[in-house]
Amino acid sequence: MIELKKLRKSFFVGGKNLHALDGIDLSIGPGEVFGFIGPNGAGKSTTMRILSGLLRQNSGTATVNGLDTLTDGDAIRRIIGYMPDFLGVYDDLTVDEYLQFFAAAFKIPRSDRRRIVDQVLELTDLTSKRAAMVDSLSRGMQQRLGIARVLIHDPKVLLLDEPASGLDPRARIEMRSLITELGRMGKTIMVSSHILTELGEMCTSLGMIERGKLLFAGSLQDAFARVRAAGAVRERIIVEIEAPANLEAPDTRSLATAALLADSRVQSIDKEPQHPGALSIELTPGEHGHHFVFQILDRAGVQVRSFTPQTLKLEDAFLKLTTGALQ
C-alpha cells in the first residue's frame, strides 16, 4: 500500500545541506497500523509530507497504492487522509459547517453530505458537538474533529502526524481507541507519536527513524527480538518461592539461587525489594524462553508460588535502537 525506495530529501539551511531523509526504504502493507517513531527532527513529518504531495523528494520513489507521488498527486489525494502535526481549523464555523465545507471541497454530492457528516461525527464521538463553534472545543475534541475531517471522503490510507500531541491523558485514551477502531475498519494507517506506550498498544508494526535514517522496520515482536538477541536489554523474571514448611528444612531461596546460577542461561539473581521471598532472575542475551527456569527449580525441589516475566517495553527497544546500541 505504501512503498518508499531510497527516498532522499534535503533542505538548504545555514549555508549547507541538511539531510532530512537519507535513503529510506519502507513498505507498509494494506490494513497495517504502522507506528512511526523517532526524536524531533528525525524525518517523520518530512516523510508524511512527501506521501501527501506537499513536498517533493530529491531522489528515490514514494508510492501509495501503486500511485507515484511525483506524477499521480491528484489520484493519491483522493485516497489518503492527511492530518498534520498542527491542524488549522476555521474558528468561525460550527463543527457541522466545518465538515460540510470539506465534504463540498472533496466534491461529495450534496445529497450524500448529510449522511456522511453524521457518520464521521458518530465515529469520532462528536455528534453532541455538531452545533458548537470550532473554537469552543477542547484540544482533544479539535484533534478528533481533525480525524473526522480526514475521514470525510472515506480514504484508504490515513497519515496521522502526532495526533495525540498536547492531549491530556483522557483525550489520549480516546484518540488511541479511535485509531484502533479505524484499524479494525481496514484502513491503512501511518501514525507518528512520541507517546511510545500508546503506539505499542495500537500498532501492528513500527518503524524507528533517527537523523533521516530508518533504523528498524517490522513488527513489535521483531523489534523486541532484535534488542534481546543483541543483549541490549536483558530479560528479567520475578519468581516467588514457597517458604520452607519447618525451620529445619533447607533455605529454599539458597537452593533456588544455587541451582539457577549453575545454568549458563542465568546471568544474575537478586532479591526483589518489592516482594519479600521473591527472586529477580536476569537472563543472558538470547531467546531462551521461561520454561527452563521451572524445570531447574522443580529438580531442586523448590516450589514456585508465582512467576512473572517482566515484559520488554517499547521504550526499551526504542532507546536502544535509536542510541546506536545495536549498530
Global pTM? Answer: 0.76
Q: In 3D, which of 4, 164, 151 has the Cα closest to residue 82?
A: 151
Q: Measure Cα distances from 144 to 89, 111, 160, 171 in Å.
A: 12, 25, 11, 9
Q: Tell whether 301 and 178 lie within a shared domain.
A: no
pLDDT in the model for residue 128: 96
In the three-class reduction of DSSP (H, G, I as helix; E, B as strand; rest coil), residue 91 is classed as coil
Q: Return the CATH number at 187.
A: 3.40.50.300
- Looking at the structure of the chain, the number of domains it has is 2
* Confidence at 321, pLDDT banded by 50, 70, 90: low
Domain that holds residue 136: 2-218
d(C-alpha 93, C-alpha 74), whole Å? 27
Q: Tell whether 185 and 303 lie within a shared domain.
A: no
Q: Tell whether 17 and 91 lie within a shared domain.
A: yes
d(C-alpha 91, C-alpha 87), whole Å? 12
Q: Tell whether 197 and 296 lie within a shared domain.
A: no
d(C-alpha 297, C-alpha 5), whole Å? 51
Q: Tell whether 100 and 151 lie within a shared domain.
A: yes
- pLDDT tens sequence across 256-276: 889 989 988 888 888 776 666
Instruction: Give the Cβ contact number of residue 315 at 10 Å.
Output: 12
Please determine, for residue 12, whether its predicted confidence score (pLDDT) is greater than 60. Answer: yes
Please determine, for residue 217, whether its predicted confidence score (pLDDT) is greater than 50. Answer: yes
In a domain, 202, yes or no: yes
113: Cα separation from own chain's centroid? 33
In the three-class reduction of DSSP (H, G, I as helix; E, B as strand; rest coil), residue 144 is classed as helix
Domain end, chosen from 170, 189, 218, is at: 218
Q: Tell whether 165 and 138 lie within a shared domain.
A: yes
In a domain, 224, yes or no: no
Q: Are 141 and 87 contacting, i.e. CB atoms less than 8 angstroms apart?
A: no
**Burial of 130 from C-beta contacts in 10 A (0-12 / 13-18 / 19+):** middle
pLDDT in the model for residue 249: 46
Mean pLDDT of 49-70: 96
- pLDDT tens sequence across 159-197: 999 998 878 888 888 888 999 999 999 999 999 986 677
Q: Tell whether 182 and 253 lie within a shared domain.
A: no
Q: Tell whether 116 and 239 lie within a shared domain.
A: no
Q: Return the CATH number at 299.
A: 3.30.70.100
Mean pLDDT of 81-97: 86
